[in-house]
Amino acid sequence: PFVQRVRWFNSVIELDRQRLGLDVTDPVSMLMGWGMNHNNTRQVATISRENVLEDAYNSFNPIGESFKAKLGVTFINEFGQEAGIDGGGITKEFLTSVSDEGFKNEKYRLFVENSEHELYPSSRIKSPIHLKYLWFMGKVLGKCLYEQVLIDVTFADFFMKKILKNEQNYHSSFDDLASLDQELYSNLVKLLDMRQDEIDALELHFEITDDDTKTSVELVPNGSDKRVTKANIFQYVLCVADYKLNRKLYRPTLYFQRGLSAMIPSHWIEMFNSVELQMLISGGSRDIDLEDLKASTQCGGYLENDKTVVQLWEILAEFTPQQRFKFIKFVTSVPRAPLQGFAALNPHFGIRNAGREIDRLPTASTCVNLLKLPDYKDKNLLKQKLLYAINAEARFDLS
C-alpha cells in the first residue's frame, strides 16, 4: 500500500541520516561512529529576498551531499535582516522560497507550463549557468523530499515519469505526449484514423518546425523528402512524439535528475508511480480532514473552547473544499494535507492569539505553520476577515 511505502521511504532517509551522522544524538549511534561526520555541522548562508535562487545556489550547491545537513539561513530584505524562529521553520521557508523562485519565476524561465499549468523543464535552456540552476533545483526538490517539506508545485505527468525512468534514459512513450501538449496529441491521434486521400491533402513530410528556433527539423534522415502516407503514418506520429518528449527535453531532464539523485538516489523512489511521486512532493489532493487538523493543532493564548477558536472550526466546516485548501496554504504555504496526516506536520499547526485589535486581519507565519488570529469573538467578522486574508494570497516575512 502507498502509505506503507511512504513510511519505508522515510525510514530509508532516516538510515541515510545515520550514515552521514546528521542530527544524531543516540549514544549507541555515537559509539558506532555515526554522528562524527563533518556533515553534522550546520550549513549557514545569508539569502537576499531579491536574489533567492542565486544566493542559494552560490551558498549550497558547492557543498554536495552536505546539503542534507541542517541549514542555518538568515534572510535579508529591503529593510535589513529578518527575525526568524529556528525550529525547523527556517529550512521550510527557505525551501518554499527557492522553489517558488526557481520553478515559477519568469526571471529564469527554467520551467514552462502545459495547458493544465503543470510544470516541466524548458527546452530553451542553453546557457551553462541556467543548466546549473536546473541541476540545483533538482537538489532543492531532493532536499524537500529528504526533509518532508511539501511545496506547492505540480509537475506534468510525463516529466514525473521521466524522473522515474532513469535506467531507461528518461524515455517517454507516445501516450505521454498528452501531458505535454494535449492539442498536438489529439491531432496526431486523428491522423491515425484518416484515409489516404485526407493524409495526402495535408502534404506532410517527416519534418517538424521547432517551436524554439522556428526552423525545420528532420525527424528521420532525409525526412524533408519522405512523404507521410497511410503506410507510414504510425511511424510519423511516433517520431513527432519522440522529438517533442525525448530529443528536445533530454538535456534539461538529465541535469534536473542528476541534481535530484544527489539527494535522493533513483532506487529510493522507483517503487512509486508518477501520481504517487507528485503526492510525495505536494501532498494529498483530497479534501482537508478537519478532525485530523483539529486534533493536531496547538493553541497559544487561546483555549480550545474559547469563542473565537470554536467559531474558526465552525467556519472551516462551512467552507468549500477549495476554501479549505486556501486556508491551509495561507498558514502552511502548501494547499494540501501532509500524506501522513497533520500529526506529521513539522512544526505542528498552531493558532496564536493576536490580541483584541479586531480591525486587523489574520496573519500567518508559514515558516512555522502558525495562524495569528485576533480574538474577534464575532463569527461574521471572523469569516469576513479570514476570507479576505486567504484570498489575498499575501506573503509574510519571518517573525
Instruction: Reply yes or no on whether 299 is catalytic.
Output: no
155, exposed or middle or buried, with CB in 10 Å at 0-12, 13-18, 19+? buried
Backbone phi and psi for residue 72, each to the nearest 5 degrees, phi listed first = -115, 95
The helix-helix angle for 128-147 and 250-263 (nearest 10°) equals 40
Task: Name the residue among 205, 202, 195, 204 with its Cα closest to residue 230.
Answer: 195
Strand order in the sheet with 43-48: 43-48, 71-77, 80-81
Give ∠ CA 105-395-298 in degrees, rounded to 5: 130
The single residue listed with the C-alpha cell 493536531 is 296
Three cell numbers, residue 201: 491533402
**In whole angstroms, what is the distance from residue 290 CA to residue 286 CA?**
12
Range 290-295 contact pairs with CB under 8 angstroms and sequence separation of 24 or more = 290/316, 290/317, 290/324, 292/337, 292/341, 292/342, 292/343, 293/337, 293/342, 293/349, 295/342, 295/343
Query: How, if at all, do strands 207-209 and 216-218 pair?
Result: antiparallel
- Pairing state of beta strands 71-77 and 80-81? antiparallel
- Point out the catalytic residue in the list 144, 239, 299, 367: 367
Cell matching residue 83: 527575525
Cα separation, 291 vs 240, whole angstroms: 50
- Write the CA distances from 163 to 121, 131, 250, 254, 268, integer angstroms: 12, 17, 11, 9, 12
Give the DSSP letter string of 287-335.
Answer: ---HHHHHHT-EEES--TTSHHHHHHHHHHHHS-HHHHHHHHHHHHSSS
Catalytic residues: 367
